[in-house]
Structures are given as structure tokens and as C-alpha cells.
Amino acid sequence: MNISEILDNSSVKTVFNINIFNINIPITESIIMMWIISLILIFIALILSLKLKKVPGKRQGITESIIEFISNLCEDGIGEKGKKFVGFIGTILLFLVIANLIDILNVMIFNIDIIPPTKDLSVVIALSIISISSVIYAGIKYRKFSGFAKSFFSPVAIIFPFKVLDYLMKPVSLTLRLFGNISVGYLIMAIITSLVPLIIPSFLSLYFDIFDGLLQAYIFVFLTTLYIGEAVEE
């Protein structure tokens, strides 16, 4: 048995291929799911941001509470420079929330098997690489390159290899946390629905799909804000 087979759960199928200049680009199920999620997010954003007024109504209240939640999250984690990161953090949070919750639709639509894209290891690796490179970018931007490089030797010079190891392990643990939680939750739900197809899965789905998905999306961006705050502070 191959290790990549287990980690991919061997269920990420290639739907079709695109050929550009003799380079074969496989389009997998999770990429198509991410296109659908982007369409859903664009649609929601268009509905929520239509005709904004000075005195908010019901619809604008929802929009403002979402944005306030994200900016509070950024300011708690990063500090006074948090306002600059609201766009980035908000994008990742909203994407992860929809991506983790989309397999609820499995209950309603029986013929199509919807997989959450965060169950694909390569999607999660890409997200955590984006996150860690934004941490490094923020460190270099706000402390200059010399200040950021000095932070690797900050209390004593001997700490340097541990700091490098720290920056290498951060994306690994982010990846394994999100991927492990989502794929194990999906696996447990699949096992339970094959054993007891009635009633019991609906209660367990509240925990494994909704609560766990929302919590993991929140934890991913929470840790990203903490890492950015650590890199930015003087």
C-alpha cells in the first residue's frame, strides 16, 4: 500500500484534463468543488452588498456583523496593525466555512457524492503555504528585512535552528490539523451512515459536520492571526 494513497484517501478523482503547450493539467473533483464554492461566495457577497444605506436594514445588519466579527478577530490576534489583514483573513475564513460545511448537502441530494475540498490534502497544503508565506511577508514588511532576520537570533544566537524549525513545523501542523479533523469526520460519518442509515446520523452530523467544521475553520484563521502578530510585533 502506498502512503500517498492513504493520505489522499484515494477518492480524489480526476474529472477531465486540460492540455496547454503539451503540459497536462488534471482537473480534480476538489477543484470543481472550489469553483462552486467561489460561485456561492460571489453570489452571497453580491446579495449582501447591494444598495448599502447609511441607516442599516436587516440585510445590511448581517453584512456589518460578519465584517465586525472578522475585524475583531484580527485586532485581537494581531494588534493595532490588524486592520490591514482583514481582507486576507476574512477571505480564508469565509472560504473555509463554506468548504467545511458543504458536505451537509450530501444528506439532501442522494445521488451525488459531494466531498469537502478540505478533505483533499493538496488543497490544505496550499492553504497553509499561503498562510505561512503571508506571515513571513508581514514580518518583512513591518520590521524591515534586517529586523525580521534579527528576530531569528533574538534572545541568544544559539536559538537560530529552533526558530527555523518552528517556521517549518507551523505549516505542517496547520495542514495536519485541518486535514485530519475534516477527513476523519467525513470517514466516521460515512461508516455510521453505512451501519445505521436512519435518525442517528442526523444527530452525529451536528457534531462531526457542522460544529467541527466551523471550529476548525475558526482555529485555522485564529492561529494564522497569532503567527502574524508574533512576526509583526517589535
> Residue 214 interacts with other proteins (CB under 8 A)?
no
Rule CB under 8 A: choose which of 78, 138, 223, 228 binds other proteins.
Answer: 223
Out of 44, 136, 214, 226, which residue is the one contacting other proteins (CB under 8 A)? 226
Q: Is 173 in the site for other proteins (CB under 8 A)?
A: yes
Alpha carbon distance 127, 125 (integer Å): 5
Choices 32-40, 122-130, 191-199, 221-229; region in contact with other proteins by CB under 8 A: 221-229
Q: Which CB, 72 or 133, lies closer to other proteins?
A: 72
Which of 125, 177, 190, 193: binder of other proteins (CB under 8 A)?
A: 177
The answer to whether 137 contacts other proteins (rule: CB under 8 A) is no
Span near other proteins by CB under 8 A; candidates 12-20, 87-95, 144-152, 217-225 = 217-225
Verify binding: residue 86, other proteins, rule CB under 8 A: no
| Shortest Å distance, C-beta 147 to other proteins | 25
The contact set with other proteins (CB under 8 A) reads 1-3, 6-7, 76, 173, 176-177, 180, 184, 219, 222-223, 226
